């Protein structure tokens, strides 16, 4: 029987994983270069929900979520407040187009429930004198069905995404995840390998899904079509 400490640790790892995704592994730092990932290559390693037909109440529910998010994270426009409250910058030393300031406690809570006032991560862009707040990221377990995701944020409004089809390089070859010149890497989320067979042939370890679902919201976007979605330059795709 699984002990409670072990169970808690397992849940914590799973809940934090989406927020750590783009920072903790070289191939997952998709904003480290000056170029965006080509759409075709990016989609090899990303699964997105499909926009559903709008239902009565969806727009109002989504608008209420955006309003709550905007009011809740407004205080974090001063990024020092986020740091003081326990949000952690992942790989601040790396050049990124969007920086994740992640709350461990919010990430754990998101595994069990959805609270639009408690995002897993705050999303910032680097400025000459600090960071500019642009939005927030919410997470959900990878086992969630479309119905469960819709219960959190209407699927007629937002597209959740999950990183998929990852081939890790053979042990001791982590450098193989990084592109060399104009030659793309075979491994990682920017890699050319996206099937179990090809990964096995290359001696790698295949992960069909990488952690959980993610959705971004930019509550201050002027264009309503850009309020929900992934920030341009981070995964090279917008919400709608």
pLDDT tens digits for range 70-82: 999 999 999 999 9
**What span, in angstroms and rounded, lies between the C-alpha atoms of 94 and 61?**
37
Asked if residue 177 is part of any domain, the answer here is yes
Neighbour order of strands in the sheet with 121-127: 46-48, 161-168, 205-217, 130-140, 121-127, 99-102, 88-89
Q: Say if CB 151 and CB 62 are below 8 A apart.
A: no
Instruction: Report if residue 215 sits inside a domain.
Output: yes
Cα–Cα separations (whole angstroms), residue 192 to 21, 45, 52, 237? 19, 9, 30, 19
pLDDT at 167 exceeding the cut of 70: yes
Task: Identify any residues that bridge with 99 across adjacent strands, giving them in sequence order.
Answer: 124
- Name the least confident of 61-70, 131-140, 179-188: 179-188
Phi-psi group of 15: left, alpha or beta (phi > 0 → left; psi -120 to 50 → alpha; rest → beta):
alpha
In a domain, 238, yes or no: no
Mean pLDDT, range 155-181, rounded to an integer: 85
In a domain, 232, yes or no: no
pTM of the predicted model over 0.85: no
Confidence band, pLDDT 50/70/90 cuts, at residue 228? very high
In percent, the amount of the chain with pLDDT more than 70 equals 75
pLDDT at residue 3, rounded to an integer: 52
d(CA 101, CA 86): 9
Length of the chain: 240
Over residues 182-197, mean pLDDT = 85
Mean pLDDT computed over 125-141:
96
pLDDT category of residue 202 using cuts at 50, 70 and 90: very high
pLDDT at 218: 97
What Å distances lie between residue 151 and 127, 156, 162, CA to CA? 36, 11, 17
- When the pLDDT of each residue in the chain is averaged and rounded to a whole number, the result is 81
Per-residue pLDDT tens over the stretch 65-121:
999 999 999 999 999 999 999 999 977 887 888 999 999 999 999 999 999 999 999
Range of the domain at 176: 4-226
* pLDDT score recorded for residue 90: 78
Distance CA 205, CA 190 (A): 15
Cβ contact 231:216 at 8 Å = yes
Residue recorded with tokens 């959900």: 140
Q: How many domains would you assign to the chain? A: 1
């Amino acid at each position: 029987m699984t002990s409670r400490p072990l169970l808690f640790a397992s849940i914590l790892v799973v809940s934090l994983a989406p927020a750590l995704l783009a920072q903790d592994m070289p191939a997952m730092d998709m904003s480290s270069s000056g170029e965006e990932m080509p759409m075709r290559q990016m989609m090899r390693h990303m699964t997105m929900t499909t926009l559903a037909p709008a239902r009565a109440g969806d727009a109002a529910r989504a608008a209420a979520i955006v309003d709550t998010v905007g009011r809740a994270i407004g205080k974090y426009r001063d990024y020092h407040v986020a740091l003081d409250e326990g949000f952690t910058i992942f790989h601040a030393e790396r050049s990124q187009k969007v920086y994740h300031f992640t709350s461990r406690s919010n990430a754990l809570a998101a595994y069990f429930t959805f609270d639009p006032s408690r995002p897993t991560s705050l999303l910032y862009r680097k400025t000459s004198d600090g960071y500019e707040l642009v939005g927030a990221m919410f997470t959900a377990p990878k086992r969630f069905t479309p119905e469960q995701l819709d219960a959190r944020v209407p699927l007629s409004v937002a597209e959740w995404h999950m990183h998929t089809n990852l081939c890790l390089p053979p042990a001791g070859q982590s450098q193989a995840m990084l592109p060399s010149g104009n030659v793309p890497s075979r491994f990682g989320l920017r890699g050319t390998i996206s099937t179990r067979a090809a990964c096995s042939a290359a001696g790698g370890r295949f992960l069909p899904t990488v952690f959980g679902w993610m959705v971004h919201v930019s509550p201050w976007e002027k264009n309503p079509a850009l309020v929900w979605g992934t920030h341009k330059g981070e995964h090279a795709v917008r919400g709608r």
